[in-house]
Amino acid sequence: MSTSARVGVVVLTYNSASDLPACLDGLFRQRGADIRIIVVDNASIPENRTAMEATFLEHAPDGPVIDAAAASPTMIENNRAVFIRNSRNAGYSAGNNIGARLAVDAGCEAILIVNPDVRIDDPDYVTRLAELIVADPKTAVACSRLTNLSGAQENPMTEPGFVEELFWPVKMLIAGLLRFRPSVVPLSGRPIRVQKVSGACFLIRTDFLQQIGFFDESVFLYCEESILQAQVRATGWHMIMDPELHALHAHRVSTKGNPLSRFQAWADSRRQFHKAYGGYGKIRQSMLAGSRRLMLMLVQSRAFLQRLWSRSNRSGVS
């Protein structure tokens, strides 16, 4: 693989009309590599999809806008950017696989998975990530420093051990009572190997992606990072991060829907992860399931208190 090789960029959207313009701005400014941008819309509501298609065509006036069933690798080969309409929302991994498979068949040697709420200002971002993968043929994944809107670091991530995860409810309770925020870990200025990376933005080798059979579609949403790190470890590859590169994850939790529904989706994905990749026996899996039930009780209690607080405030105003 060379740094001028073809790199696919998969942007998976779902009602992302407000985020997509800034994301595409950064991607269309990329230089160096032969970049092919594949926007895959996961069955957004019609008015939101229409807005995203208009944004896409502003950036790529000649780019095809096509249904997933009719998309082909030839379209990726012949166009810098393609907008693909997926007819159903099958989840994060399934949606990204639509773009990833097309990119692989179109000759892309690496694929950048990037959420629409990620902002990339460095025009050499993709090229520099590709250089990390080129430097070592056993590097499966490369990532950059990633900060959120509050300035907190989201890369690198770590996978918890059994005891740490078992006591997550205690940590969650203490954090809620004390308004605790984790301390910022200083990062080296040089590329470093890491255990786990955020799923919001990372570059993955296509030969590794083919080796693992593409992204695991058994989870709808959440825990994809845990699954990927387990696959990298099991196959003897590794991940690397360049702290000098940076992207912004402009994620807003308040826009992501009911917290109880989101937690239940996470809990279901975590259960599937432990079943397929965790390496724990039935007793430990049952103990962790109990820990997740305690966490659900805490989430429910917090939601109840927030409703009471909101009603009290409305009553005070009236």
The tokens of 316 are what?
A: 């005070």
User: Which has the closest alpha carbon to 225: 145, 150, 158, 289?
Assistant: 158
User: Exposed, middle or buried by CB within 10 Å (0-12, 13-18, 19+), for 233?
Assistant: middle
Strand ranges, E, within 231-290: 238-249
d(CA 104, CA 222): 24
Residue 59, C-beta contacts closer than 8 angstroms, at least 6 positions apart: 24, 25, 28, 81
User: Which has the closest alpha carbon to 33: 13, 69, 70, 8?
Assistant: 8
CATH of segment(s) 6-254: 3.90.550.10
Domain boundaries, the chain: 6-254
For residue 172, the number of C-alpha atoms closer than 13 Å in the C-beta half-sphere is: 18
Three-class secondary structure of residue 265 per DSSP: helix
d(CA 301, CA 169): 13
d(CA 16, CA 89): 13
CB contact burial 168-198 (16+ within 10 A = b; e otherwise): bbeebeeeeeeeeeeeeeeeeeebeebebbb
d(CA 288, CA 178): 24
DSSP labels for 215-227?
S-TT-SSS-HHHH
User: Exposed, middle or buried by CB within 10 Å (0-12, 13-18, 19+), for 293?
Assistant: exposed
DSSP labels for 53-120?
HHHHHHH-TT--EEEGGG--HHHHHH-SEEEEEESS---HHHHHHHHHHHHHHTT-SEEEEE-TTEE-
pLDDT digit string (tens) for the chain, length 318 residues: 555 789 999 999 999 999 999 999 999 999 988 999 999 999 999 999 999 999 999 999 999 999 999 999 999 999 999 999 999 998 999 999 999 999 999 999 999 999 999 999 999 999 999 999 988 999 999 999 999 999 999 999 999 999 999 999 998 888 766 655 555 566 777 899 999 999 999 999 999 999 999 999 999 999 999 999 999 999 999 999 999 999 999 988 655 567 888 899 999 999 999 999 999 999 999 999 999 999 999 988 877 776 777 676 666 554
What global pTM score does this model have? 0.91
d(CA 242, CA 297): 39
The tokens of 82 are what?
A: 């393609």
